């Protein structure tokens, strides 16, 4: 029953001990059917659908608000007073349905199962177009009428991806390992390949997890690069010949082709296929089934164009001819992960590149140039050349390395220009003045300190007027609390910020502040899990002190 799931969530929330959380979830998972197991593990990560699944329920505050008002008969003022007490839509739904006699009644009220909830939420994702708001509201009302108050609480929390029970995805992974007698490393390594925790849980239950492998049209986590501060550091680490490539300032992309089907995934494993119809058509002409790792960027006459031209493609329901033609795009492939029925992850990079270079490509597809370097002098010369062309720097790669999904290590090392930028997440925003009146134009941002977001600054420069308007609307849809001149938002939008220096400051809870921060770009391709850490801030600060 879904009530059992809701009660599990309450128990997990009530304990601060991670071992108890894992034990509670593991015991619960053991007793579920196959389909219940898949739904429950997905719900426990705070999602309706697994990562990489392009479906979206597209249900926000207003739809849930309308459904609760119509079911309960409470006034907007009563709703607002309850919501302000909790600041949480799930808890608000629970109190409303606990204290208010339903205005509407179901003729036959049934006990909800986990699969009932799953099926109704899937219906929400299938509803689009005219009248969709009312249809979605009707489905949610139906769930509320069947649900007990505690069930309604967790239906809302799943819908809004705000589970908030102190159960990070890593603990769900531990629970799966514990429930089915597997090592945590095995569960995590296979999750990085499948990127579907429900599928991992089911295979673990059936004893088939070892068979999980890369399959076209299902994204895997990207291999990541460590950072070096100088060519000498890289040369000293490897002490032999290695590969080097230019570091592109584009969107890291994973392109999958199986028959005539093509899908493109971003770093966040979001399906961005519809944003790049020109790339898709070129991929369809390839003679192989394959999975490519590479970068999409605006590129003309041998040089990269501004990243902002690429960002105009993202998060648009319709791509006009003007948007498609304003900047020619190129996909530079620098790795091949699958070819004609064979996963290549376990091959070394040298072998993967040999296969890649045999794949015949036409514009706008291209294989990245690769160079062989060994000394600090060779690395520096290539780095200088990359800057002259307009690239970000270099990525140096071990030709003997396997492809390790989701892992950041020294098999790949990046060397970037000048002082690092930081990837931060917006946690609050303030309204501007003058021509910016009514627009959220000043952005307060944070870094990650062991799972806690710590504010490190505020920026209001670097975006175009169009970007600012788009960002303002997005932030309003993510609003958690309205303080008048300032809004607190769900931490979801990542910015890449540049700055002159870092200084110690008691103004922010991080203990640091960025001096003259400016927004380099909005990173829609990155998730909050990928933002930089307070440790990195401290590292940059210490390097800066040494230089001074």
3-state DSSP assignment of residue 403: coil
Pairing mode of beta strands 452-459, 440-449: antiparallel
Q: Determine whether the annotation assigns residue 408 to a binding site.
A: yes
The encoded tokens of residue 297 equal 């960027």
Calpha distance 28→361 (Å, rounded): 50
* Strand (E) or helix (H) holding 460: none
Q: State how far the Cα of 43 lies from the Cα of 103, in Å rounded to an integer.
A: 29
Beta 224-227 vs 408-416: how paired, if at all? parallel
Q: Which of 247, 397, 458, 526 is catalytic?
A: 247
Which residues have CB under 8 Å from 8's CB, separation 6+? Answer: 24, 25, 28
Residues 297 and 310: beta-carbon distance below 8 Å: yes
Q: Residue 450 contacts by C-beta under 8 Å, 6 or more apart in sequence?
A: none
- Any binding-site annotation on 55? no
Angle at 462 between CA 456 and CA 466, to 5 degrees: 120
Contact 321, 291 (CB under 8 A): no
**What does the alpha-carbon distance between residue 264 and residue 257 come to, in Å, rounded to a whole number?**
9
- Taking the C-alpha atoms of residue 397 and residue 411, their distance in angstroms, rounded to an integer, is 6
Look up 247 and say whether it is catalytic.
yes
Q: Is the dihedral of CA 477, 482, 486, 490 positive or negative?
A: negative
Phi, psi of 416 (to 5 degrees): -110, 165
155 Cβ contact list (under 8 Å, min separation 6) = 2, 93, 117, 140, 143, 144, 147
- Residue 146: partners with Cβ closer than 8 Å, 6 or more residues away: 106, 109, 110, 111, 112, 116
d(CA 67, CA 71): 6
Residues 6+ apart with CB under 8 A from 131: none
267 annotated among ligand-binding-site residues = yes
13 is an annotated ligand-binding site residue: no
Residue ranges of the alpha helices (H) in 458-504? 465-477
Structural contact between residues 511 and 538, judged by C-beta atoms closer than 8 angstroms: no
Distance CA 367, CA 372 (A): 16
Other residues' Cβ atoms within 10 Å of the Cβ of residue 529 = 11
What is the Cα 97 distance to its own chain's centre?
33
Residues annotated within the binding site are 245, 252, 267, 295, 408, 414
Residues belonging to the active site: 247
Residues annotated within the binding site for ATP are 245, 252, 267, 295, 408, 414
């Amino acid at each position: 029953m879904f009530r059992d799931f809701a009660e599990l969530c309450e128990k997990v929330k009530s304990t601060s001990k991670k071992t108890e959380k894992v034990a509670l979830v593991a015991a619960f998972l053991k007793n579920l059917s196959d389909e219940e197991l898949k739904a429950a593990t997905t719900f426990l990560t705070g999602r309706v659908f697994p990562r990489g699944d392009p479906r979206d329920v597209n249900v926000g505050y207003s739809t849930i608000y309308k459904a609760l008002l119509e079911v309960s008969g409470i006034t907007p003022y009563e709703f607002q007073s309850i919501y302000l007490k909790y600041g949480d839509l799930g808890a608000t739904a629970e109190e409303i349905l606990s204290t208010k006699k339903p205005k509407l009644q179901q003729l036959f009220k049934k006990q909800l199962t986990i699969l009932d909830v799953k099926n109704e939420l899937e219906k929400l994702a299938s509803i689009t177009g005219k009248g969709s708001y009312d249809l979605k509201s009707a489905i949610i009302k139906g769930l509320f009428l069947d649900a007990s108050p505690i069930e309604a609480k967790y239906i809302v929390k799943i819908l809004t991806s705000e589970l908030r029970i102190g159960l990070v995805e890593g603990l769900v992974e531990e629970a799966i390992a514990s429930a089915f007698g597997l090592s945590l490393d095995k569960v995590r390594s296979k999750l990085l390949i499948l990127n579907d925790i429900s599928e991992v849980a089911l295979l673990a239950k059936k004893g088939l997890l070892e068979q999980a492998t890369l399959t076209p049209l299902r994204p895997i986590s990207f291999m990541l690069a460590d950072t070096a501060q100088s060519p000498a550091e890289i040369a000293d680490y490897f002490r032999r010949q290695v590969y080097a490539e230019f570091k592109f300032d584009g969107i890291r992309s994973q392109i999958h082709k199986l028959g005539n089907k093509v899908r493109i995934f971003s770093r966040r494993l979001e399906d961005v296929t519809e944003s790049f119809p020109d790339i898709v058509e070129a991929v369809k002409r390839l003679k192989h089934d394959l999975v490519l790792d590479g970068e999409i960027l605006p590129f003309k006459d041998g040089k990269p164009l501004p990243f902002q031209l690429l960002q105009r493609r993202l998060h648009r329901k319709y791509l006009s001819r003007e948007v498609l033609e304003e900047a020619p795009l190129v996909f530079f492939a620098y790795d091949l992960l699958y070819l004609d029925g064979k996963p290549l992850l376990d091959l070394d990079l040298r072998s993967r590149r040999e296969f890649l270079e045999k794949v015949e490509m036409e514009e706008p597809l291209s294989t990245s140039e690769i160079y062989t370097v060994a000394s600090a002098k060779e690395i520096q010369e290539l780095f200088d050349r990359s800057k002259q062309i307009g690239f970000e720097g270099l990525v140096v790669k071990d030709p003997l390395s396997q492809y390790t999904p989701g892992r950041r290590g020294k098999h790949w090392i990046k060397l970037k220009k000048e002082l690092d930028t930081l990837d931060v997440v917006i946690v609050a925003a303030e309204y501007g003045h003058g021509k910016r009146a009514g627009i959220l134009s000043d952005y307060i941002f944070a870094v990650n300190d062991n799972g806690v977001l710590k504010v490190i600054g505020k920026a209001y420069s670097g975006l175009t007027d169009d970007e600012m308007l788009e960002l303002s609307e997005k932030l309003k849809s993510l609003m958690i609390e309205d303080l008048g001149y300032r809004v607190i938002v769900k931490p979801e939008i990542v910015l890449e910020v540049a700055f002159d220096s870092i200084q110690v400051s008691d103004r922010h809870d991080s203990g640091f502040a960025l001096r003259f921060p400016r927004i380099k770009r909005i990173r829609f391709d990155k998730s909050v899990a990928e933002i930089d850490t307070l440790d990195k801030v401290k590292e940059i600060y210490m390097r800066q002190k040494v230089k001074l």
